[in-house]
Structure 1
Amino acid sequence: MVPTTTPTASSVTASAAQALFTSLSTGSGIDTASLVSSLVQAQFAAKTDALTQKSTAISAQISGTSTLMSTVSQFAAALKTLATGGTLQTQPVSSNNNVVTASALSGATLAGLSSSVSVSQLATGQSSRTTVPVTTRTTALGTGTLTLTLGTATYSSDGTAMTDFHAADGDPITVNIVAGATSLDGIAAAINAKNAGVTASVVTDADGSAYLSLKGATGSAQAFTLTATNDPSGKLAQLNVGVGATGTALTSGAQNAKLTVDGVAVERGSNAISDLVAGVKLQLTGTSNTAVALTSTTPTDALKSSITDFVDTYNQVLKTLTEQLDPQTGPLRGDAAAQSLLRTLRALTTKPILTNVAAGTPTTIGEIGIKTNRDGTLSVDDATVARALTNSPDAVEAMFAFSTTSTNGLTAALNSISLSTSSTLYGLGASAKRYNDQASAVAKAQDDIATQSDAMSTRLTQQFASMNAKVAAYKSTQSFLKNQIDAWNKPD
């Protein structure tokens, strides 16, 4: 492809002069538009060319700062996502998932976990259903008021009836059953709308007959009664739940989970428990006379993979940064914030990212097998990684762990770098603001030149139009005189 060239100011001026001389030599028929265009272009060519080059350079700088800020931000976000996903965290292991399963809480350190759990009773919620069928789920029962009360209860030996109830502190919940919503569907919707911890649903049998089912939250403190307190039709009373209720039967009672953790007997209102074994969420799934052992396992393979992924991503970020800082072609080669970012990234392998650890514990990513090459890129020393995962698995895990309160770890380090990079006071954010201000100034200068060009074009057009008219008049006079002289000299 043949390269295109931009006319220089001197060549444009020469072109304009030549056009003028050519036009004047003819004495008429001047191409005013072309002449004016050439003169105006000659006047502003140097400034226009300089501003165009400056605008192009600034646009590249703006694009460069945006690219770097986005790249670093995405690097930090990707590492955070990896750290919060749980795959890099030591996980608890249950010896019997049919009794209890275990999962790690975010940020927990579970190396060396050793606990035992025995479960004698699961937490259940009170459940009831009506015993007298209603013709259909849309059959109207009648308006009135149902009162829902939460508390504790005792039940019959077979668990089908409530024998005693003690209301909890607080006001009962009033459920108004209004005209147009007196069917079991309407009543269930009215109860659910209260969000009181009791869920109502309608169950139909094979004949289409409908029953109201009520289920409470788990725990002995979540028992409930339902009483028709305003029942003009007398039909709402068949929905009563509580001591002496005849229209409903209990299918389960409200009770706590009972378990023993490391020899200590405890009760909880839920089968999901996070406050008994440090850093572990227990999910009770069954009962057993045999204790369940809780231990832990370190995700060695996942950590190895993450180290490799980190190195690969770092090298991609470094490549983008060094391209922007190339001494010959980089648009940000003179940008102090970009240079500072490069120094910060290169120091990452030697900067301690773990504090308050035992002597001999790795504190930098360089000490766990991430080494810096001569060209600044990173690589993985597999032998050092393997040794670190064997001797200091907690430290390696901590480097990749995420915490909202700690400044330890790679996630915190990269987040700090990302924030510094985007700072509008001293980072690339400040550079971007400066370049945008410069771009605005160049755009204004270009607008000013356009205004001046228009004014000059108008002025020259008027001047050459006047000149053209005078030349035409002179030529007309010249023609008249010539004709007269020719007539005088004509032989008789």
Structure 2
Amino acid sequence: MASPILPGTGLGSGLDTGAIVKALVNADKAAKQGQIDRGTATNSASISGVGTLKSLLATFQTALKDLGSATSPQFTGFAATTANAKVVTATANNSAVAGTYTVAVTQLATSSKVASAAFAGGATSPVASGTLTINQGSKSYTVNVAAGATLQQVRDSINTSYQSSGLSANIVTDSFGSRLVLGSSTTGAGSELKVSGIAGLDMDGTVKMAATPTATSSGAIGELPVDALYSVDGLAMSSPSNTVSNVSGLSMTLLSKDTTTVTVAGNNDGLKASIQKFVDAYNAVANAVTSLTKPSLDDDGKPTVPAALTGDAMPRAILAAMRGPLTAAGAGDKLTVLSQLGINTDQKTGALNFDSAKFTAAMNDKKLGGEVQTLFTGTNGLLERMNNVIKPYTDTGGILDTRTSSLNKAKTKLAEDQGALDRRIENLTAVLTKKYNDMDTLVGKLKATASNITSMFEAMTAQQKNS
């Protein structure tokens, strides 16, 4: 809060009362203001440092989640490639065997699609109330149709209730009116859809609709669902799905009818890239801890400017917790510790060093590729253990949230202290200004009185001389 404007040189005393008041106020304020300023600077730096830690750990957890993905495995010991990815795509896991396979696709698995009779009034045509039953193989789905419901509302109810189960409904309009069309993502022979329960919506997916339909025609649209037919190295096979895994450790998705080759080989490059991602993500946290806790040094190596969290034990505690999983033995047979892959901790910085030459030797000479996934993503693997030690810090209401809350409370208290100090200084300034102004006024009066007395004596002296 601003201080009141002070007078300059006193008219009565000739003293710079403004400067005197300012000096007295500053002397009284200095100690407390310095304490608040230091506390504010330290608090702001701590809030920023904790925020940086929280962001870094969240990024690290995201990296762990991506590396541990079950749908896109990052640590498979083998990789599968296809000569023609438009025919077949393939992925290999750690139980795969290196080799080349000839895959011939002669028929793709297809799904069922059925259409109802036509409703002349279009999508808003009323539909009889009741229970619509959709059967597919051994599965059954029901939709309750209320009185006054329209064809469009029936479509919406099916999609809302069963789209997650692979069913989808739509409305197609031809020259006779609008038809309810049902489809399914389930493929293979025997997956025909059958709909019953409400007049006008009966559909039998085992019977094909006439090539030239009438208003009352209903049934299967297109071909009836069939199994996929294919062969691997001349061995004939079939599958109700286009995703097949008849070859040990190899999963293939059939995409079109043709012949191609699938090659399975060691995934050294992929493993190396995934390990490097882990090392980089870990080092981002380790290096940040160093920068947040290590003060700047002068030319003599003495600390000058403290870092955001210099002297704070929490960043070092985080790094110590993260180091624990690195040294714990994994559940593999031949591969149990990271050092076997050329990963070691730099004792000075706490970061990880990745020796690619040692990694290559482990893959080629010791044949450890098949165990890398177990080490990183197996039961109680490195990624899981690492995430477990971080969670207490990053969880909502966890250690970092608690620290941030405490720092924000301290920030509020410092602001309150500053406000209280400003008010006290304003009051002190006003009191001292009044006192010195009163003193100046009194001195002025005394000077005026003295001047009058002097004038009187001078006048009397002059009269005596003239007598």
Calculate the TM-score normalised by the size of structure 2: 0.70
Which position in structure 1 is the counterpart of 2:299? none
- Superposition map of 1:391-470 within 5 A: 391-401=367-377, 406-409=379-382, 411-422=383-394, 432=404, 435-470=407-442
5+ residue gaps, structure 2, are 1-5, 296-302
1:150 to 2:117 alignment = no
Deviation at 1:385, TM superposition (A): 0.4
Q: Mean alpha-carbon deviation: is it higher for 478-487 or for 298-307?
A: 298-307
1:214 and 2:181 aligned: yes
CA contact (8 A) 2:123 2:171 kept: no
Give the 3 Å change call, closer, same or farther, for CA 42–306 of structure 1 in structure 2.
same
Q: In the TM superposition, what are the counterparts of 1:169-188 in structure 2 within 5 Å?
A: 174=145, 187=151
Deviations 1:142-161 (A, max 9, x none): 645287442369xxxxxxxx
Change in 2 beyond 3 A, CA 1:353/1:123: farther
Once the 2 structures are TM-superposed, how far is the Cα of residue 318 of structure 1 from its aligned partner?
A: 3.0
Structure 1 match to 2:112: 125
The residue number in structure 1 matching 2:330 is 354
Aligned counterparts of 1:227 and 1:316: Cα–Cα separation in 2: 62
Which stretch shifts more, 308-317 or 57-66? 308-317
CA displacement at 1:81 relative to structure 2: 2.4
Contact in 1 for aligned 2:12/2:442 (Cα 8 Å): no
Q: Is the 8 A contact 1:152 1:168 kept in 2?
A: yes
Q: Of residues 41, 65, 73 in structure 2, which corresponds to 1:80?
A: 65
Q: Which residue of 2 aligns with 1:224?
A: 194
Letter in 1 for 2:430: T
Are the counterparts in 2 of residues 73 and 418 from structure 1 also a CA contact under 8 Å? no
Q: Distance in 1 between matches of 2:169 and 2:127?
A: 20
Q: Is the 8 A contact 2:112 2:225 kept in 1?
A: yes
Distance 2:355 2:208 in 1: 75
Tell whether 2:217 aligns with 1:248: yes
Q: Residue 344 of structure 2: SS of its match in structure 1? A: strand
Counterparts of 1:429 and 1:251, CA distance in 2 = 58
Corresponding residue of 1:488: 460
Residue 386 of structure 1 and its aligned partner are, at CA, apart by 0.6
User: Does 2:275 correspond to 1:307?
Assistant: yes
1:125 deviates by 0.2
Amino acid in structure 2 at the alignment position of 1:487: A
How many residue pairs get aligned? The number is 422
| Alignment pair present for 1:71 and 2:41 | no
User: Can you give the 5+ residue segments of structure 1 that lack an aligned partner in the other structure?
Assistant: 1-18, 154-166, 182-186, 230-236
Contact 1:241 1:248 in 2 (8 A): no
1:126–1:429 CA distance, 2 compared to 1 (3 A):
closer
Give the match's secondary structure for 2:35. helix
Q: What per-residue deviation string (whole Å, max 9, x for no partner) do you get for residues 72-121 of structure 1?
A: 332332243244354543455679977764457xxx64444999999877
Find the aligned partners of 1:149 and 1:297 in 2 and give their Cα distance.
Answer: 49
Question: What are the residue-to-residue correspondences of 1:10-49 with 2, within 5 Å?
Answer: 27-49=12-34
Letter in 2 for 1:57: T
Could you tell me how far 1:282 is from its partner in structure 2? 5.4
Give the CA deviation at 1:393: 0.7
**In structure 1, distance between residues paired with 2:90 and 2:358:** 32
Quick one: percent identity of the two aligned structures?
23
2:316 corresponds in structure 1 to: 339
Q: Which moved further from structure 2: 478-487 or 333-342? A: 333-342
Quick one: distance in 2 between partners of 1:168 and 1:438?
61
| Matched residue type, 2:41 | T
| Letter in structure 1 aligned against 2:66 | T
Q: Determine whether 1:191 maps to 2:165.
A: no
CA distance in 2, matches of 1:56, 1:476: 53
Q: CA deviation at 1:463?
A: 1.9
C-alpha distance in structure 1 between counterparts of 2:45 and 2:125, whole Å: 75
- 8 Å contact 1:91–1:298 — kept in the other structure? yes
- 1:13 maps to none
Q: 1:370 to 1:43 in 2, by over 3 A?
A: same
Contact between 2:393 and 2:400, CA under 8 Å: does it hold in 1? Answer: yes
Change beyond 3 A, Cα 1:116–1:192: farther
Say yes or no: does 1:379 pair with 2:353. yes
